[in-house]
Amino acid sequence: MKRFSTLNYPRWAIFNFVVLSIFGVILRYMQLYDVPGLNYQFILHAHSHFAFSGWMFFSIALLIALLCSDGKISIGFQTILVLTLISSYGMLASFSRQGYKLVSISFSTLFIVITFRFTYLLFHRNLLKEHVNEPAFILLGEA
């Protein structure tokens, strides 16, 4: 677990955005020109799943983890972030190669389990209630 604490999570968030942008450029290029060996629908699915899991969720989870951990990310949140990276890149690779098949669906399912665990960590320990103001907490639906 010590290895997780040495990862630079903000850099991963930026790197994930760069990877997402590259896939976006590839998609736009494929609308104009045929790219042998690449399936447009597969790349589109990979792009959309990675956009949500690898960039948006990862970045928001990182910000919430920093907020709730007072600057030092706890082991539970580090595990969430690392598993998110694994599932996101697994989805990116498997959706790009095969579309909706067993491997890509497995990585998608892993991501769903990760989000459930993340939610459990936040609400079971009342971490958000301790770190955000009352109106923000009401908007989250936990009042």
Residue bearing the bigger pLDDT, 12 or 68: 12
pLDDT of 108 strictly over 90: yes
User: What is d(CA 112, CA 55) in angstroms, rounded to the nearest whole number?
Assistant: 15
Q: What is the mean pLDDT of residues 77-105?
A: 95
Instruction: Give the pLDDT score at 134.
Output: 72
Q: Domain limits at 42? A: 2-139
pLDDT of 32 strictly over 50: yes
Q: How many domains does the chain have?
A: 1
Q: Answer whether 125's CB lies under 8 Å from 74's CB.
A: no
| Max intra-chain CA distance, the chain | 54
Instruction: Give the pLDDT score at 135.
Output: 77
pLDDT of 97 strictly over 70: yes
Residue bearing the bigger pLDDT, 122 or 118: 118
The answer for residues whose C-beta is within 8 angstroms of residue 103's C-beta and 6 or more apart is 90, 94
Q: Answer whether 122's CB lies under 8 Å from 128's CB.
A: yes
Q: Which of 61-75, 85-99, 111-125 has the highest mean pLDDT?
A: 85-99
CA separation, residue 17 to residues 14, 59, 89 (Å) = 5, 10, 12
